[in-house]
Chains A and B, each alone.
Chain A
């Protein structure tokens, strides 16, 4: 198990503040955050490349906070892979074992195992300049894991890989790492990548860990406004609590009442102002004279379409919900033709209660 306890780091105007994380054995942990949020800085603190101001780092019960990088046994796959240009593929992979004075036979047998698993045995005698992006990545990964590290850190490993190839390779690599039983911290700013790969995910913004949890939990229930904004949730507003029931609360928002599911971890106080968000995909169009689903019944409003934008498979539409409060809604593109939508058209919408999150 990897434990990071109250880690603080200071570099000029940027700080990592009170970072605490626990990575379980064999866990694939994805640290997600926008550019400049401190993801790579945190990895470099864990590696010992940056000296931290305070805090402790434990790897398998052993404190490594004050150890030099070379004594931590933490593998690292940098963003641009950085294969050593003065060595061929074989020597790049063998480097970590050669440094440890392992025998030639041992090095060859270890390399054979890894290159077979990663399906790169045909590359061993190649010069690194002749490799494709995907091949370079696999060689860099082989180099990082051949020393059997206690933890593997992946710094945006798929940012320079072709989109078509990415889906296949990221699951293939995850499977390989799972087999090797190495816990992983993978950092990225890509939401889809995090959702698809993570056993658990952490959100870092401005040097602070904002939320940690299972992907579904984090993506569906952001705990604060910063996380919601980073996850692309557009409709964030202020509301006042006017009623508190067993399972729901009622918010006053611009003189309209919105019923919101209660967050069990929060204490609600009547008349207190809170922030809440409405997930764009939780806003549903209601066709006149059609039965309305129970989950939508409590929050039904009349609106007017003000903007429509099309993407490859989705449509993002802005609607005016009384008094110039603009909501963004997102739906599959076939809905657009089915409902015959156009700018200026008046429509009735329902808000899916589970898609309204209070902070």
Chain B
């Protein structure tokens, strides 16, 4: 009897949240005006989708590229100030995205930022600003996820590889990285999903210009700001569809995510 009550309580909490989320999604359809939907600017929608997917992919790829060596370093090595550095990587989680966007905006007004924009490419209020903003928001999360993947791999595998004559580089590329592959893909997808939904830092650094820096979250913001409810809801549903697809892939991967630490 007690077990049944316990199980009921567990499912009650889960059911409460699921029902709440479903109501949030279903109510959107009630506000979807099909007459105005017919007049939707599809080229604007596709442009936003393409921009969001492109920038999120680029920023997530760059973040993963940095996160792999940094995550490995944090997982395997001890060095001075390691705790301080690890805490610093949580900065984007502690500070609001708008504040981070403002910090980036100020950075591009410093001599280093101006030098960068002068000799490389323009960033502020341009498409690269979206990538920059997304990168700063997701890099900490990406490093922490990647570090967890390496934490799950028994370092003894690396020692065995070295006893067989492999250098640290060979061990990393032939043993550690292949074993971490699924975890890293999972980390990439999660950070990609987070980049897709990034708004605060993007709107501060890249602005909100239609057909220029209008990502899906920015498009939702602009639609609601100009009282285009149906357009806004369409953008929300598209974001939901893309996000859910990614999460379903992620969960199916998750079952086989890590190799057993003690295998």
Residues of A with Cβ closer than 8 Å to B?
Answer: 44, 47, 49, 68-76, 78, 80, 82-86, 95-96, 99-100, 143-144, 147
Choose one: A80, A83, A86, A99; the contact of B164 (CB below 8 Å): A99
Q: Are A78 and B160 in contact (CB under 8 A)?
A: yes
Whether a CB of chain A sits under 8 angstroms from the CB of B163 is yes
CA distance A85 to B175 in the complex (A): 9
User: B160-189 toward A: CB 8 Å interface, digit per residue (1/0)?
Assistant: 111111110010001100110100000000
Q: Please determine whether A99 and B175 come into contact, CB atoms closer than 8 angstroms.
A: no
Bound form: Cα–Cα A85–B161 in Å: 12
Are B262 and A80 in contact (CB-based, < 8 A)?
yes
Cα separation A44 to B262 with both chains bound (whole Å): 18
- Contact in complex: B156, A78 (CB < 8 Å): yes
**CB within 8 Å: A-B pair count:** 66
B residues near A (Cβ < 8 Å) are: 154, 156-157, 159-167, 170, 174-175, 178-179, 181, 259-260, 262-263
The residue in chain B whose Cβ has the minimal distance to the Cβ of A86 is B178
Q: Within the complex, what minimum Cβ distance (angstroms) separates B112 from chain A?
A: 39
Given contacts A49-B159, A69-B159, A95-B161, contact A82 B166 (CB under 8 A): no
CB-CB under 8 A from A82, the residues of chain B are 154, 156-157, 160, 263
Task: Find out whether the CB atom of B263 lies under 8 angstroms from the CB atom of A70.
Answer: no
Q: Does A147 contact B179, Cβ atoms closer than 8 Å?
A: no
CA distance A291 to B70 in the complex (A): 80
Determine if B175 and A84 form an interchain contact, defined as CB atoms under 8 angstroms apart.
Answer: yes
Cα–Cα distance between A251 and B167 once the two chains are bound (Å): 61
Question: What chain B residues lie within 8 Å of A144 (beta carbons)?
Answer: 163-164
Contact A99 B160 (CB under 8 A): no
Which residue of the partner chain, among A49, A85, A99, contacts B165 with CB atoms under 8 Å? A99
Cα–Cα, bound, A86→B181 (Å): 10
Q: Chain A residues near B181 (CB, 8 Å)?
A: 86
> Cβ of B165 and Cβ of A147 under 8 Å apart?
yes
Closest residue of A by beta carbon distance from B177: A86
Known: A78-B156, A82-B263. A69 touches B175 (CB 8 A): no
Closest beta carbon of chain B to A24's beta carbon, Å? 22
Chain B residues in 8 Å Cβ range of A95? 161, 164, 166, 174
Q: List 19 A-B contacts (CB under 8 A).
A: A49-B162, A69-B163, A70-B166, A72-B163, A73-B165, A76-B163, A78-B156, A82-B160, A82-B263, A83-B263, A84-B160, A84-B175, A86-B175, A86-B178, A96-B165, A99-B165, A99-B166, A100-B165, A143-B164
Considering only CB atoms, which chain A residue lies closest to B175 in the complex?
A84
Question: What are the 7 closest A-B residue pairs judged by CB atoms, nearest first?
Answer: A96-B164, A69-B162, A86-B178, A76-B163, A85-B259, A99-B166, A70-B162
